[in-house]
């Protein structure tokens, strides 16, 4: 039997039982759709995280000093700022933070992040003052009670009126507003729009934390990052007496790699779980093909009696199984792409379609059809012509 003729007969047999064919393909459809939808959303989320981390700057390095405490401050503020003397470093911005309640008259805002920063914060974090001014050295030297408001905080406390030169209370302490920041938008590390900035020295006394636990360093160039990190790590290693658990120096690219790894692992896990539906769909195809063999036993006997070979019978049933799985895979791919588009709009998530995954899912569904179609096809081809003709 020619391949074209076998395919034609397969289509005819499938279309004679449309409902049964659709129900048989359902497992394959659901499996392929789930794999494509989940991987598209998962990879889109991974790409969003990568873009977010990249926007923080590839020349930005984070320093964490877990070994510093109120009992023992191993690395002081001045020692940390001495990193600016390195040729590879452009600016160093230590920070201390707390959560406070802000009030302007009867208007209040709770749970606002108050960050104590120095004059390098603007350069390191690439922020811009919309009105007023930023924190200056004189504010740090005199521990001035001044504050720069994030755009959202300014709107919440003052509406659309000018906040500069007004006074607000932070946990009951009066601060003078000297500036309002430009709107920055959402960022991976948290939006500065929902924060307020006060001088670092003022924050140390206000929060009651004189020691430094974190800082952000801006390197002079991408080429200088690795060398600069090595020099800072060596200096911290010496100051902490070789205790590498007391500090960490991380580049944003390492953070991005770690987040990508977690995101990709989760995507693969979800895709693996969804792939179980394909196995279930394959079992469904095998089950319905066995039923088809039983129903068409006399047909098989007649075909063998008039000269059909074992391979012709086997090919016939195998093609039917493959056609069912292929159609299921194609329908599942279309539904999966549509579902990913709808979910990305509803959940406000980024979707990233990877066509090799689409093609791979459809190809895998066809492979499932071949694997689970072999047994029924083999059973049909091994039927005795005499016994098949006697079958009622």
Q: Which of 70-79, 173-182, 270-279, 297-306 has the highest mean pLDDT?
A: 173-182
Report how far residue 202's alpha carbon sits from residue 383's, in angstroms, rounded to the nearest whole number: 91
Closest Cα to residue 33, out of 328, 355, 369?
Answer: 328
pLDDT per position as a tens digit, 129-173: 999 999 999 999 999 999 999 999 999 999 889 999 999 999 999
Residue-averaged pLDDT of the chain: 83
At 236, the pLDDT band (50, 70, 90 cuts) reads: very high
DSSP state for residue 353 in the 8-state scheme:
-
Q: What is the pLDDT of residue 2?
A: 65
Residue in 231, 201, 200, 202 with CA at minimum distance from that of residue 84: 231
C-alpha span between 91 and 119 (Å, rounded): 10
**CB-based contacts of 207: which residues, under 8 Å, 6+ apart?**
96, 98, 114, 116
**What's the pLDDT band for 320 if we cut at 50, 70, 90?**
confident
Q: Which whole number is the average pLDDT over 73-88?
A: 91
pLDDT digits (tens, 9 = 90+) for 21-71: 888 888 888 888 888 888 888 777 766 666 665 555 578 888 999 888 888
**Token pair in block for residue 239:** 């100051």
Task: Report percent pLDDT > 70 for the chain.
Answer: 89
Residue bearing the bigger pLDDT, 21 or 261: 21
More confident residue, 135 or 319: 135
Which is more confident, 173 or 317? 173
- For residue 120, give the nearest of 193, 233, 197, 48 by alpha carbon: 197
Distance (Å, rounded) from C-alpha 67 to C-alpha 178?
A: 34
Segment 4-18 shows an average pLDDT of 74
């Amino acid at each position: 039997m020619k391949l074209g003729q076998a395919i034609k007969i397969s289509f005819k047999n499938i279309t004679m039982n449309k409902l049964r064919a659709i129900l048989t393909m359902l497992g394959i459809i659901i499996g392929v759709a789930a794999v494509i939808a989940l991987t598209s959303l998962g990879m889109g989320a991974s790409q969003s995280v990568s873009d977010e981390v990249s926007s923080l700057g590839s020349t930005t390095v984070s320093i964490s000093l877990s070994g510093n405490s109120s009992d023992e401050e191993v690395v002081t503020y001045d020692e940390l700022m001495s990193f600016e003397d390195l040729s590879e470093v452009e600016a160093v911005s230590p920070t201390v933070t707390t959560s406070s309640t802000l009030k302007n008259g009867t208007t209040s805002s709770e749970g606002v992040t108050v960050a104590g920063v120095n004059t390098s914060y603007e350069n390191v974090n690439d922020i811009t003052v919309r009105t007023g001014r930023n924190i200056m050295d004189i504010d740090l030297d005199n521990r001035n009670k001044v504050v720069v408001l994030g755009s959202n905080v300014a709107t919440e406390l003052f509406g659309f009126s000018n906040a500069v030169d007004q006074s607000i209370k932070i946990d009951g302490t009066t601060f003078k507003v000297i500036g309002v920041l430009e709107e920055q938008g959402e960022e991976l590390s948290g939006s500065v729009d929902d924060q307020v900035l006060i001088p670092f020295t003022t924050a140390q006394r206000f929060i009651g934390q004189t020691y430094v636990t974190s800082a952000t360093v801006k390197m002079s160039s991408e080429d200088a990052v690795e060398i600069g990190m090595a020099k800072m790590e060596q200096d911290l290693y010496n100051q902490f007496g070789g205790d590498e658990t007391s500090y960490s120096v991380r580049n944003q690219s390492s953070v991005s790699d770690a987040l990508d790894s977690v995101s990709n692992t989760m995507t693969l896990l979800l895709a693996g779980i969804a792939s179980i539906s394909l196995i279930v769909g394959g079992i469904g195809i095998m089950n319905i093909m066995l039923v088809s063999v039983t129903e068409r036993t006399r047909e098989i006997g007649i075909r063998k009696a008039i000269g059909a070979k074992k391979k012709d019978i086997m090919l016939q049933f195998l093609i039917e199984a493959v056609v069912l799985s292929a159609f299921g895979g194609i329908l599942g791919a279309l539904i999966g792409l549509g579902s990913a588009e709808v979910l990305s709009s509803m959940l406000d998530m980024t979707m990233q379609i990877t066509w090799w995954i689409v093609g791979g899912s459809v190809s895998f569904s066809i492979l499932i059809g071949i694997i689970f179609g072999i047994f029924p096809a083999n059973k049909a081809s091994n039927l005795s012509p005499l016994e098949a003709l006697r079958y009622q």
